Amino acid sequence: MSDHAPTMPPLRAPRPWLRLLLRLLAISIIISFFTSLEHLHSPQDLLVNFGFTSMYTLGLWLTNGYAVDWLDKYVGWKQAPGKRLTYTVLVSLGGSFVVIVLVQTLILLYQHRSLTELWALRRAGAYFFPLATTAMISLFLHSRSFLLGWREALVRNERLQKEMAQAEAESLRQQLDPHFMFNALNALTSLVEEEPKLAVRFIRQLSQVYRYVLDARQREVVPLADELDFAKSYLFLQNIRYGEALHVELPELREVPSNVVVPPLSLQLLLENALKHNAASVSQPLYLRITLDEAGKHLTVSNTLRPRRLAPGESMGIGLPNLTARYAHLTAEPVRIERTEQEFVVTLPVLSLM
């Protein structure tokens, strides 16, 4: 047998529209059979009945199917279940009624009868059966849409909870980083010998930093004023270490609204990243700036970009993704991250308490 014998191409699965067509065809055949038992002896009557039944089936299925997709874009089951139910009933029954009237019009035209019979009481059955069929189709389609949305919400909530737990663990790991304490104690040793008064202030600021870490890590959000006050203490410690190599700009606390909040320790993560990933010297200082926009809705942390080579294991690269995940748990507005040739900028949404 030749090694170059042709091989059979793999069988392809039917396309979605073909599967839908075959499904609707099967439904039409079943309905036509049970509604034409008295016409089994007449192929022509069977064919006509099958044609009109197919129109009903295709029209009602597509009307209700597209209604589900259309409503999903504007009114979700999760956001407004009562409103969605009302719209579902109105759109489904209204669209189905239009389809039924159109098909009934075609039937009357085919039978050469007056269109005034559309509203005759004796034709009520011609509307009742298709509407009953519509109710079953609609119940299936919209129940499926609801269950899929519910399952998606459960999966998303479980994923966000997992990401929140990872973010909190990473935040705690960073705040209790022994390198931070090691550097702080080294700076304190020098201060005790050379500037005892400044050493006392240093100890107080260090205790405030760790007190805030212990208090805030169990909370989902904290007042922005508290977070900025913590950042002020944290940057005081860093200024002792870096000296003139670090320049910091902070907003005035009195300008911060009292009802705005942010996830705890989010500023520390961004400040730590800036200090960890960038070189700083007296000749080329590192500029750190924290600003709050006039509307009080966005907090921006920017730093001059002067990347330095990190030692292996010094950075895990998951701080910003975890911060983004924490925000996704609280608001739909994303964290914006921008990198230019001169600056690295992170903009955090500020949440308001009503």
DSSP 37-98: GGGTT-HHHHHHHHHHHHHHHHHHHHHHHHHHHHHHHHS-TTT-HHHHHHHHHHHHHHHHHH
Q: Which two tokens stand for residue 328?
A: 């996704």
Who wins on pLDDT, 21 or 97?
Answer: 97
Does residue 161 form part of some domain? no
Q: Sort 264 into a burial class: Cβ within 10 Å, 0-12 / 13-18 / 19+.
A: buried
Determine the Cα–Cα distance for residues 304 and 279; give it in Å rounded to an integer: 10
| Same domain as 181, residue 136 | no
| Same domain as 321, residue 251 | yes
| Same domain as 137, residue 270 | no
For the chain, the residue count is 354
- Would you say 216 and 264 are in contact if contact means Cβ atoms under 8 Å apart? yes
| pLDDT-derived band at 45, boundaries 50, 70, 90 | low
Q: Which CATH number covers residue 287?
A: 3.30.565
Does residue 7 form part of some domain? no
Q: Which of 106, 122, 155 is the last residue of a domain?
A: 155
| pLDDT-derived band at 23, boundaries 50, 70, 90 | low
Does residue 297 form part of some domain? yes
Determine the Cα–Cα distance for residues 15 and 7; give it in Å rounded to an integer: 23
Does residue 148 form part of some domain? yes
**Residues β-bridged to residue 247:** 287
| Same domain as 125, residue 22 | yes
Does residue 63 form part of some domain? yes
- 266-271-275-278 Cα dihedral, nearest 10 degrees: 90
| Same domain as 348, residue 203 | yes
Q: What is the DSSP letter of 296?
A: S
Determine the Cα–Cα distance for residues 299 and 291; give it in Å rounded to an integer: 6
Q: Which of 123, 155, 187 is the last residue of a domain?
A: 155
| Same domain as 221, residue 104 | no
Ranking 49-58, 185-194, 208-217, 250-259 by mean pLDDT, the lowest is 49-58
**What is the number of other CB atoms lying within 10 angstroms of the CB of residue 37?**
7
Convert the pLDDT of each residue in 283-328 to its tens digit. Answer: 999 999 999 988 788 999 999 998 888 766 556 566 788 888 888 8
Of 88, 87, 93, 89, the closest CA to residue 128 belongs to: 93
The Cα angle at residue 114 between residues 110 and 116, in degrees rounded to 5: 125
Determine the Cα–Cα distance for residues 24 and 55; give it in Å rounded to an integer: 10
The number of angstroms, rounded, from the C-alpha of 24 to the middle of its chain's C-alpha atoms is 35
> Hey, what amino acid is at 285?
P
CA distances from 309 to 10, 269, 277, 318 (A): 52, 19, 8, 17
pLDDT greater than 70 at residue 68 = no
| Same domain as 138, residue 223 | no
Does residue 11 form part of some domain? no
Determine the Cα–Cα distance for residues 298 and 350; give it in Å rounded to an integer: 5
Who wins on pLDDT, 44 or 183?
Answer: 183
Does residue 160 form part of some domain? no
How many domains does the chain divide into?
Answer: 2
pTM of the predicted model as reported, rounded to 2 decimal places = 0.54
| Same domain as 137, residue 185 | no
Domain of 39, in residue numbers: 16-155
- Would you say 188 and 203 are in contact if contact means Cβ atoms under 8 Å apart? yes
Convert the pLDDT of each residue in 224-276 to its tens digit. Answer: 999 999 999 989 988 888 889 999 998 887 778 888 899 888 888 899 889 88
Mean pLDDT of the chain: 76
| Same domain as 253, residue 144 | no
**Residues β-bridged to residue 346:** 301, 337
Does residue 332 form part of some domain? yes
| Same domain as 272, residue 140 | no
| Same domain as 138, residue 41 | yes
| Same domain as 96, residue 22 | yes
pLDDT greater than 70 at residue 11 = no
